[in-house]
Amino acid sequence: MKKKSTFSFSLILKHLTVLFLVLIWTLPTLGLLVSSVRDKDQLTASGWWTALVTTERNEVYRTPIADEQVAVEGGWRIYMPLFEAGSDRSIGSWGLRADEIGLNLPGDKVSLDDGSAISVLESGELDWFSETPFTHTRGIRVFVDARIPPRFTFDNYREVLASEGVGQAFINTLTVTLPATFIPILIAAFAAYALAWMDFAGRHWLLAGVVGLLVVPLQMSLIPVLQLYNQVGAILGVPSKSYVGVWLAHTGFGLPLAIYLLRNYMAGLPREIMESARMDGASHFDIFLKIVLPLSIPALASFAIFQFLWVWNDLLVAMVYLGQGVEKIVLTAQLRELLGSRGANWEILTSGAFITIVVPLVVFLSMQRYFVRGLLAGSVKGG
């Protein structure tokens, strides 16, 4: 009996621990997503976890001066709506001193020393009445507890897409990513087949070389390739920062993993198929095109997802070889730019960040199976 109760206690503990960990891993992203659709004033006034409840904010207003009084029956009146027309805000309480903000309810009348009376309605309308004309040249301050109901909007997205250059950057990223995903697949597939099934001198050295290149840090290539591009640009009279340059760079940097993954997969295909095809007189080219390539589609898909995510999310290669011009800047670089220039505008940053991560997230979620398979092939088997 005792054994059983400790068992279920540890089970609850296990559920709670996993739940806690999952929350840590999801809350930051959830916060971004929620914040990106909040009204930008609310976003800076209260935490995103309060997005669904009415926020209260202490605000201070100053009444108009005597010039704006109007004569009414029995006296003089100063009127001012505290909130903009059409606002859904309301007044929770109000007062005439900062420490008396909770003193009066909406609609209460407060008499001043000069015999006038002031009141603030729930709708935020301030009404100040006096039997004698007002003479003050400086308005008095009114402290209110403004209640702001939750408000969600896509304005942040509209703004960030149109005027912060994120829309253009999205197209630029797409222009970089698609060719930089497909070119290496094609080149690597041929190379992987050769390494797996063709017999030639130096095959083992090449394979060892590919495994070695897998871990060469990108940093080693940055400067020499940049110099190379500058020279080529100068000789051919073309700009040294170009989409072609970025595609080639991503292809070069992605090839080791591509060749490695595809070779491992192709080497695992049954030998008998190849041999019987050889017997029938098929050339290596035919075997590759008609047998190996169709059979390798799962591995091709795995690598395609890797490369797609890597290129889409890359900042370094794009910054060095594509630059920061408006017509070429990619999403990640644009987002970093916004972090610098609009660092305090969370409505821009959250919606901008979400736009940069939404495509990889969709690809990732819909093709997780292939991605996991690729991960396992890349790290558990060998290398």
Partner 1 sequence: MIGQITSALMAILFAVGGCALFFVGANVLLDRTLSSRGHMTDLQRQQRDSLRESIRPWIFIGPAVALLTIFLVYPVFKSLWLSFHDANGESFVGVSNYQWALTDPEFRISIRNNLLWLLVVPTLSTGFGLLIAYMTDRLWWGQIARSLVFLPMAISFVGASVIWKFVYDYRGTQGDQIGLMNAILVAFGLEPQAWISLPFWNNFLLMVILIWIQTGFAMVILGAAIRGVPEDTLEAAQMEGASPMQMLFRIVIPQIVPTIVVVWTTITILVLKVFDIVLAMTNGQWDTEVLANLMFDWMFRGGGDFGRGSTIAVVIMIAVLPIMYWNIKRAREDEQ
Of 176-235, binders to partner 1 (CB under 8 A) are 178-179, 182-183, 186-188, 190-191, 193-195, 198-200, 203-204, 206-228
- C-beta closer to partner 1: residue 123 or 230: 230
Least distance in angstroms from the C-beta of 79 to partner 1: 30
Return the C-alpha torsion angle 249, 251, 252, 258, nearest 10.
150
Least distance to partner 1, CB of residue 21, Å: 6
**Residue environment code for 64-83, b if the CB has 16+ CB neighbours within 10 A, otherwise e:** eebeebeeeeebbbbebebb
Q: How far is the CB of 365 from partner 1 (least distance, A)?
A: 8
Q: Which of 135, 231, 276, 283 binds partner 1 (CB under 8 A)?
A: 283
Give CA angle at 121 (119, 127), nearest 5°: 40
Say how many residues touch partner 1, by CB under 8 A: 115
Q: At what angle do helices 368-379 and 297-313 cross, to 10 degrees?
A: 100
How far are the Cα atoms of 62, 75, 167, 220 from residue 117, in angstroms, in the given order? 16, 11, 54, 76
CA–CA distance, 167 with 161 (Å, rounded to integer):
4
Q: Which of residues 333-352 bind partner 1 (CB under 8 A)?
A: 335-336, 339, 346, 349-350, 352
Angle at 292 between CA 287 and CA 295, to 5 degrees: 145
Nearer to partner 1, 153 or 168 (CB): 168
Report whether 184 contacts 88 (CB < 8 A): no
Alpha-carbon Rg of the chain, whole angstroms?
Answer: 33
Site for partner 1 in 7-66 (CB under 8 A): 10, 14-15, 17-18, 21-22, 25-29, 31-32, 35, 43-49
Cβ proximity to partner 1, 273 vs 361, nearer residue: 361
C-alpha to C-alpha distance for 17 and 24, rounded to whole angstroms: 11
x/- contact string, 63-102, with partner 1 (CB under 8 A)?
Answer: ----------------------------------------
From 82-90, 99-107, 283-291, 296-304, give the range in contact with partner 1 by CB under 8 A. Answer: 283-291
* In the complex, least distance from residue 301 CB atom to partner 1, rounded to whole angstroms: 16
Does 303 contact partner 1 by CB under 8 A? no
Residue 152 carries which DSSP code?
B
Return the exposure string of 311-336: e unless at least 16 CB atoms fall within 10 Å of the residue's CB, then b.
bbebeebbbbbbbeeeebbbbbbbbe
Q: Which of residues 110-169 bind partner 1 (CB under 8 A)?
A: 167-168
Q: Are strands 55-62 and 125-130 parallel, antiparallel or unpaired?
A: unpaired
Nearer to partner 1, 227 or 276 (CB): 227
Which of 142, 146, 148, 255 lies at the binding interface for partner 1 (CB under 8 A)?
A: 255
